[in-house]
Amino acid sequence: MRVLTTAQKQQFEEEGYLLVEDLLDPARDIQPILDEYAEVLDGIAQKLHAEGAIGSTYGSLPLIERLVAVCAESGRNFPQHFDFSLPQSGIKVDTPIHVGPAVFNTLAHPRMLDLAEDLIGPEIYSNPVQHIRFKLPARAVAQGSHNGLVSKIPWHQDNGVIMPEADESSILTVWLPLTPATIANGCLQVVPGSHRDGLTPHCPGPLGIAIPDSLVATQEAVAVEMHPGSALLMTQRTVHSSLDNVTDDDVRISMDLRYQPIGQPTGRPAFAPAGFIARSAAHPETVLHDPAAWAENWYRTRAALAEDAPAFNRWKAGENGCA
């Protein structure tokens, strides 16, 4: 079913991003994901309490308040426990990963795939470079380390954090807020039209791989506030970043989902076994429908990478103008 109008597709092509309102139903489609993550948090809280790291499990609190309380008291964050992808280094056989059915059902949601089909066609592959982000207030962020799954994301292009094999792939990013995304709690900001300038040099730094501020037209940036159920579409070369969460008690929860035509390189070949065919008009029998099979593919990928993890990053300090 068609989701985008001709005018919306033209805007996406011209500006490199598009806000689509009311794509999913917050109660029917978003709440099951939050419920699943509430169970993950409960497991974390129970374990910390048993270890004596926190004085209470905070079981009576709702998800956001409980997460802030657990992180603030323990002085620890748990980004990998919630994420449905693996980190770029240090992968072990027991590296935490959450690949639950509510997450899979979101990746394969018919409305998500209808939206992707409007832009990349009916042969749709779910790229395995995807994430969940719990952007915490500063008081709940663990001191002495930075993780982009819980903290500010610097200026970058999604093309810049994958390998050169996917430079010519057509990778669509669908950024999906599960809670309200506001300027105060760290919504995304994009630079309209930046996708037309090709791949900009990125540099390794304390906040991860990033485009130097001097190469970004920051004065043109647009902050995109969103409500749950809406979606922000970006090309793989759209320059974007997140704002800081300057609230005291709010958490911006969002998913980065990526789709591309079947057969194109994903940019992270080591994760290839965990990608899947989400829709195919030509070969519908190849579509993956089983959440358990998807989860098992991730577990097998984790086990393989614990033995031999390849390079994930194309950028090095001292190259391309990086200090």
pLDDT in tens, 262-300: 999 999 999 999 999 999 999 999 999 999 999 999 999
Mean pLDDT by 10 residues, the chain (323 residues): 95 98 97 98 98 98 98 96 94 97 98 98 97 96 86 94 95 98 98 96 89 94 98 98 97 98 96 97 98 98 90 78 69
d(CA 313, CA 32) in angstroms, rounded, equals 34
Residues whose CB falls within 8 Å of the CB of residue 308, separated by 6 or more in sequence, listed in order: none
**Two tokens, residue 279:** 């829709």
pLDDT, residue 321, reads 65
**Two tokens, residue 285:** 């029998």
Q: Where are the beta strands (DSSP E) in the chain?
A: 17-20, 124-126, 131-135, 172-177, 188-190, 203-205, 208-210, 222-224, 231-234, 240-242, 252-261, 276-279
Q: CA 146, 208, 300 angle in degrees (round to 5)?
A: 90
* Within-domain flag for 227: yes
Which residue's entry shows tokens 């922000």? 232
Give the domain range for residue 166: 6-25+79-307
Q: What single string gives the DSSP state of each residue in 245-291? A: ---SS--EEEEEEEEEETTS--S-GGGGGG-EEEE-SS-GGG----H
* Within-domain flag for 275: yes
* Within-domain flag for 64: no
Q: CA 306, 83, 105 angle in degrees (round to 5)?
A: 115
The domain that holds 206 is classified in CATH as 2.60.120.620
Packing angle between helix 6-15 and helix 110-120, nearest 10 degrees? 70
* Within-domain flag for 50: no
**Two tokens, residue 154:** 């610097």
Sheet holding 222-224, edge to edge: 222-224, 188-190, 240-242
* Within-domain flag for 318: no
* Within-domain flag for 312: no
d(CA 59, CA 62) in angstroms, rounded, equals 8
Pair 257, 173: CB distance under 8 Å: yes
Longest dimension (CA), the chain: 57
Domain count, the chain: 1
pLDDT tens, 8-48? 999 999 999 999 999 999 999 999 999 999 999 999 999 99
pLDDT, residue 143, reads 87
Pair 188, 250: CB distance under 8 Å: no
* Within-domain flag for 34: no
pLDDT, residue 323, reads 65
The half-sphere exposure of 236 on its side-chain side, counting CA atoms within 13 A, is 24
The half-sphere exposure of 144 on its side-chain side, counting CA atoms within 13 A, is 2
